[in-house]
Structure 1
Amino acid sequence: MSSKALATPLIRHVTIRGYAQAAPAVKKDVRIQSSVLPNKTVLAALDNGSPVTRVTVAFKAGSRYEPQNELGLSHVLRSAAGLSSKGASSFMISRKLAQMGASFSASGDREFIYYTLEATQDNLHQALEYFNHIVSNQEFRPWELSDNIPRLKYDLAALPPQVRAVDLLHKAAYRRGLGNSIYIAPKRMGKVSSESVQHFAACNLTPARCAVAVVGDNQEKAALVAQALQLPSGGQGQSEGSTYFGGELRKEMGGDLAHVALAVQGAPAGSPQSLALAVAAKALGNGPVTKWGADNSLLGKAIGNIGPFAAAGFNVSYSDNGLFGVVLSVPKDEASAAVKAVAKALKSPNLSGDAIKAGKNQLKVQVLCEADQGATLTESLAAQGLYTGSVKSPLDLAKEIDQLSSSDISQAMSNATKNRISMGAVGNLAFVPYVDEL
């Protein structure tokens, strides 16, 4: 029996300030425009005729760039988005954006931090003025950072256990760099100084590490947004490569369930292997496809009818590495058999042609649905620009998925499963086997 307990983003963290109702988008058959400015800022624009324009400014300022003696900086940085800046107070920023019906959010992962604005065409110019204050004129006043600590505590308290397991998985697999958590440790709260956050921002929020994506307007608007940003040009963030080591981290938290993330080394973003592994992750299983239905995926059949469980394959790719694996939630008494079955399915996958076809269709649905989600699409375009220097539309990605053959997917999985397995586990781990027992 399976459940939908994994319907939560596992790799990202979002901070939202303000709400607005978006007008329905008007779809047009248009192509994405992209370019690179002389200062190395990547631009991408998709003018789809939407009455609501979305603007995302992304930076290479994720947790992998944090110094080892200052872990948690990226979490503090994105949580501080929207606080007082050089030209406007936090009250003025939130008040003015609310009056214009605009909304703003800051999100981040291990590679990037994203600042996203959503506003109607009529109010876009004025909204961009305050958006510029948020992105490029931050001051990180000590008393405001201190007042923001409850927000950080809430972020940690609201973490689903599956997210904690994936976070431990990264630490076990990479140790440093990509192994850095995207969340601040409880013992670090209140100990991150304003000067540290300012220095981190000055080193990483620079034009050469920036991408600007616009959906609902043209490339000229993206260029104007980039040119209006007042960013330092001399900073250089730390960017040493992350080596995959493989390992295991466990956190006993009690309860009736065990939450386990298993993975092997994947492929970097932009590579054909990465797309093939994304299809393979869907083919392994993503829970039941109908409400209250049975899980007939490879993972569901491997685990069997041992009680309520949730299992989903995942693939995450970064600039120089990646992870391909499975997240599992299972009753503590059934954990031993379930984890061993999942590990066997991961290390010796036997995907049928029908499973691969279904995986391709599911991945295409996910990619194409991004076009309907506004802010998700702009963040995806910005991330592509920073990863590869070029941008592809969801339709182009769907065509590339169609072109993948079964042999391409099988070969990518075969290469990935040769690597050492890593594990992150939280919950009641009394019967969860250790990684060397799998």
Structure 2
Amino acid sequence: MKGIRGIGQLSRRLYAAQAARTAEHQHVGFHPQEVQVTKLPSGLVIASLENYSPASKIGVFIKSGCRYETPDNQGVTHLLRLASNLTTKGASAFKICHGVEAVGGSLSVTSTRENMIYTVDCLRDYIDTVMEYLINVTTAPEFRPWEVSDLTPRVKMDKAQAAQSTQIGVVEALHAAAYKNVLGNSLYCPDHMVGHIQSQHLQQFVQNNFTSARMALVGLGVDHDVLKQVGEQFLNIRSGSGTTGAGAQYRGGEVRLQSTSSVVHSAVVSQAATAGSGEAVAFSVLQHLLGAGPHIKRGSNSTNKLVQGVAKATADPFDVSAFNVGYSDSGLFGIYTISQAGDAGDVIRAAIGEVKAVADGAVTAADLTQAKAQLTAHLLMSQETSEGFLDALGTQALADGAFCSAEEISKSIDNVSLTDVSNAAKTFMLGKKTMASSGNLSHTPFVDEI
């Protein structure tokens, strides 16, 4: 595929036309816009919100997270994240870096277990420039062997930085223990694959997964018609659904990361609801009912039900919160505890006891109302930032081809009943457990002992 050139002329022409229309109707003013979502015949989803901001944010969301890796290319998505500014068929690495910085923009890439997200930010006057680089990076990478080899030190540095976070290590170990396959893949390149991911691995992965039907082009502060024409002309790259991948297979299990640390991190979970389902909303309410972390900057979790329950078991400093994550075909719900090594067993058992109390019906209408309010506020405030809104818009557009409005979100949360929350807690209590722990584990129970 040839590199993308000439997109600037298209965008300038469309924006010039839009500016002319605006000038003709200045007396009308700017009208509030709703989110617009269009699915093209190729399967590509276009979603946008024109908020008339002087700064625009555009992202390409692709179903190509680490769950789509195979044993032969484990770690390939880690290198893809680092390869976002490498030479493409239409622009050199220097041109991409210099071109984006020259207009005060930024180009970044992040990934989850399910998606890769390429994002550009810029003043809307320069949207044609940065979008050209975004299209090049996502549709026409070259992955020159010598440039890919140069990524190895950065892979090692990423892994070293991640290793410094105990929480990242526990969450990664938790997924590895919970799943037999796809969702057990790590976000980071495994040690045995560092230096072994070659240009051909990257090319093959992109060929299999970067197809139009697996992409969503989303924008904030951009005209929908502009985004649609860009998608039709430049992201209609390969047909087909690409690599579908196997469904997640939950198994349960345990990983113990022994160290000399006197602070123990432990996570205990069961399989929960898939993302976007009605049951997922109930689990989210349950998470906030039990405690999802401080609600005040630098505040404590003193009002957290889990903390209040665990406080009866130990007087030493600790932290405990509910753990909840959903994917397209599975989910995990449970507790995450941080405690002194000698108190780990008491803290874990006390936290699980609080979940059991909810499962047995020990929750009031006032508790439920408070949890609903906290969840609603959390979701709506997360969309107050451009980053949060773009992430929500892109994730939903890619998964469902639609966007759930704030009113719909609030309504679905309001519809959760005490019975729904109690059933969610029962699902955790009755489900097969998975546990991951890190630290001095001499006083930490095994998963079959809790």
Asked if 2 retains the 8 angstrom alpha-carbon contact of 1:212 and 1:225, the reply is no
Q: In angstroms, what is the RMSD of aligned CA positions?
A: 2.0
1:353-383 deviation digits (Å, cap 9, x = unpaired): 3332222222222211232221222122111
Q: 1:237 to 1:411 in 2, by over 3 A?
A: same
The residue number in structure 2 matching 1:153 is 156
Q: Does 1:303 align with 2:310?
A: yes
1:286 deviation in Å? 2.5
1:43-67 deviation digits (Å, cap 9, x = unpaired): 2111122221111111110111111
When the two structures are superposed, what TM-score results if normalisation uses the length of structure 2? 0.87
State the structure with bigger RCO (CA 8 A, min sep 6), 1 or 2.
1
Aligned partner of 2:114: which letter?
E
1:173-197 deviation digits (Å, cap 9, x = unpaired): 1121111111111221101111011
Q: 1:320 to 1:235 in 2, by over 3 A?
A: closer
CA distance in 2, matches of 1:28, 1:285: 40
Q: 1:243 to 1:92 in 2, by over 3 A?
A: same
Q: 1:356 to 1:436 in 2, by over 3 A?
A: same
1:318-374 deviation digits (Å, cap 9, x = unpaired): 111111122221121211111222233334534433332222222222211232221
Show structure 1 runs of 5+ residues with no match: 1-26
CA distance in 1, matches of 2:357, 2:217: 42
1:78 deviation in Å? 1.6
Asked if 2 retains the 8 angstrom alpha-carbon contact of 1:86 and 1:137, the reply is yes
CA distance in 2, matches of 1:215, 1:40: 21
The residue number in structure 1 matching 2:421 is 409
The residue number in structure 2 matching 1:274 is 280
Aligned partner of residue 200 in structure 1, secondary structure:
helix
Q: Does 1:240 align with 2:249?
A: no
Q: 1:376 to 1:288 in 2, by over 3 A?
A: closer
Q: 1:256 to 1:28 in 2, by over 3 A?
A: farther
CA distance in 1, matches of 2:354, 2:443: 19
2:387 corresponds to which of 366, 371, 375: 375
2:261 corresponds to which of 243, 255, 261: 255
Aligned partner of 1:51: which letter?
P
1:96 deviation in Å? 0.8
Q: Which moved more, 1:302-311 or 1:262-271?
A: 302-311
1:189 corresponds to which of 191, 194, 207: 194
The residue number in structure 2 matching 1:317 is 326
When the two structures are superposed, what TM-score results if normalisation uses the length of structure 1? 0.89
Aligned partner of residue 117 in structure 1, secondary structure:
strand
The residue number in structure 2 matching 1:3 is none
2:168 corresponds to which of 156, 163, 171: 163
Aligned partner of residue 323 in structure 1, secondary structure:
strand
Q: Does 1:203 align with 2:215?
A: no
Q: Does 1:436 align with 2:441?
A: no
CA distance in 2, matches of 1:424, 1:75: 23
1:70 deviation in Å? 2.1
Q: Does 1:427 align with 2:434?
A: no
Larger Rg: 2
Aligned partner of residue 80 in structure 2, secondary structure:
helix
1:113-162 deviation digits (Å, cap 9, x = unpaired): 11111111101011111111111111122222221222222222222211
Q: 1:82 to 1:338 in 2, by over 3 A?
A: same
Aligned partner of 2:48: which letter?
A
Q: Does 1:223 align with 2:228?
A: yes
The residue number in structure 1 matching 2:128 is 125
Instruction: Give the fraction of aligned pairs with identical amino acids, expressed as a percent.
Output: 33
Asked if 2 retains the 8 angstrom alpha-carbon contact of 1:202 and 1:235, the reply is no
* Number of positions where the alignment pairs a residue of Structure 1 with one of Structure 2: 412
1:42 deviation in Å? 1.6
Q: 1:38 to 1:235 in 2, by over 3 A?
A: closer
Q: 1:192 to 1:238 in 2, by over 3 A?
A: farther
1:417 deviation in Å? 3.3
1:164 deviation in Å? 1.3
2:139 corresponds to which of 136, 139, 146: 136
